[in-house]
Amino acid sequence: MKPAPFEYYAPKTTEEALQNLTDLGYSGKVLAGGQSLIPAMNFRMARPSALVDLNNVAELAYIKLTDDGGIAIGTMTRDNAVEHDPIVKQRMPIVAETMGYIAHPQIRARGTFGGAIAHADPAAQLPALSLALNAKLLVKRKGAERWVTAEEFIVGPFMTVLEPEDMLAEVVLPPLAPRTAGSYKQVSRQRGGYAQAATISVVSLDDRNHVKDVRCVLFSVGETPILSKYAAKVLVGNEPTEAAIADVAAYAAKNECDPGSDLHGTTEYRRQLVEVLVRRALTEAVLRAKK
């Protein structure tokens, strides 16, 4: 289990990195934390001919408040830096909560926030989180940049809008409205393992405790993270009653996800999990938002 040979580039600045990516085109691939890529290379399931290692680009690792009170996270920010960041914990506890589900601490010490989103693993937490929080993603290429919403960014399993010369440079999590809270729920065979089904649900309440906004994202149950449209349709403007939540959960499980059968779970079982988890997550998010 040794990786195949590759050419190696170690840029020190974003500019240099973008130049490398432009020069290499389809033969180049970004090496961020490497926690998914390198195992795949060790199995020789991934064999990029050239790697552009961003680990020396110090300017890509940061967490800062945006002017409107959101949080901007540099693409090379390590998962554990986000997990333990006091601003993140205080302003967006759902982010810190989610980070704790990513594999194990040793992986979070190397894995990067942007790297995981760009990898677009349908079973991974951060693409789902970015969708749940309606994140804005800054995509750079040599001499140009553009903003993409999380919804637009992922186009399929392990597929994004990124072109070979592109780099995901920054992720902006917009500020949460008052009385907004999220809940993360998953079932995985083992702690730190891939979810068999999971949801990140974020709920905003108004003064009367009616739902102002809800973003219920299902993941690891389809080709991409899935934003439940039905949740918004049923809940927004209404009281999040037990019955309404149960209705959303049942509908999402039946109609809004597409889990396959694999070694560890049948489609039926995973739909059952979606129903249970959505119900539990929405219930908890509502409870938290009321506080």
Partner 1 sequence: MTQLVKINVTVNGVPYEREVEPRLLLSDFIRHDLKLTGTHVGCEHGLCGACTILFDGQSVRSCIMFAVMADGHKIETVESLGTPEHLHPLQEAFMEKHALQCGFCTPGFLMTIVDYLGDNKNPTDEEIREAIDGNYCRCTGYENIVEAVKLAAKKMAAHS
Partner 2 sequence: MAERVFHKSILRNEDPQILAGKAQYLDDIELPGLLYAAFKRSDYAHARLKSIDVSEARALPGVIGVYTAEDFGDLVKPGPLQVPPPTAIKGATYSSRTLMPIAKDKVRYSGEPVAVVIAESRYIAEDACDYIYPDYEPLEAVIDLEKALQPGATLVHEDLPSNEAAHVVQERGNYAEAAKKADVIIKKKIYVDRVAAAALENRGIVINWDEKAQMMTIWCGTQSPITLRNATASRMGLFENQVRVITPFTGGGFGPKINTSMPDDVLLTELAVRLNRPIKWYEDRRENFLATTSERDQVHYAEIALTKEGKFLGFKDVFYHNSGAYDPYMMTVPLNTQTHTVSNYNIPNFYTEITMVFSNEMVVTPVRGAGRPQGVFVMERMIDAAARELKMDVAEIRRINLIQPDAYPVSTGIIGQDFVEGVLDSGDYPTALAKAMSMIDYKKFREEIQPKARAEGKHLGIGICTFTEGTGVGPYEGAKITVGGNGKVSVATGVATQGQAHYTTFAQIAAEQLGVEVKDVKVVTGDTGAFAWGAGTFASRGATVAGTAIHLAAVKVKDKALKLASKILETPESELELVGGYIQVADIPGKKISLGELASMANPMRGTFPPGAEPGLEAVAYYGPPYGATGAGCMAMILDVDAETMKPKIERLVMVHDCGIPINPMVVEGQVHGGIQMGIGNAFFEKVFYDETGQLLTASFMDYLFPQATDMPPKIEMGHTEIPSPLNPLGIKGVGEAGAIPTPAVFTQALEDALYDTGVEIMESNLSPSKVYSYVMKAKGA
In the window 105-124, what residues touch partner 1 (CB under 8 A)? 105-107, 109-110
Give the C-alpha separation, 116 to 110, whole Å: 11
Instruction: Write the CB contacts of 230 (distance below 8 Å, at least 6 apart in sequence).
Output: 248, 251, 252, 255, 256
Query: By CB under 8 A, what part of segment 139-198 binds partner 1?
Result: 191-192
For the chain, what's the residue count? Answer: 291
Q: Which two tokens stand for residue 177?
A: 């409205």
254 binds, among partner 2, partner 1, none (CB under 5 to 8 A by kind): none
For the segment 8-27, give every residue that binds partner 1 (CB under 8 A).
8, 10
Q: Output the smallest distance, CB 34 to partner 2, in A.
A: 16
164, 176, 197, 210, 267 from 173: Cα distances, Å: 25, 9, 24, 24, 33
Site membership for partner 1, residue 61 (CB under 8 A): no
* Among partner 2, partner 1, none, partner that 51 touches (CB below 5 to 8 angstroms by kind): partner 1
The residue with tokens 């403007």 is: 237
97 with 184: CB under 8 angstroms?
yes
Per-residue binding letters, 165-204, with partner 2 (x by CB under 8 A): ----------------------x-xxxxxx-x--------
136 lies in the site for partner 2, by CB under 8 A: no
Answer with the entry of partner 2, partner 1, none that 8 interacts with (C-beta below 5 to 8 A by kind). Answer: partner 1
Q: Which does 110 bind (CB under 5 to 8 A by kind): partner 1, partner 2, none?
A: partner 1
Q: Which residues have CB under 8 Å from 220's CB, separation 6+? A: 122, 123, 186, 194, 195, 196, 197, 198, 259
Residues binding partner 1 (CB under 8 A) = 1-8, 10, 31, 34-35, 38-39, 41-43, 51, 53, 55-56, 80, 103-107, 109-110, 191-192
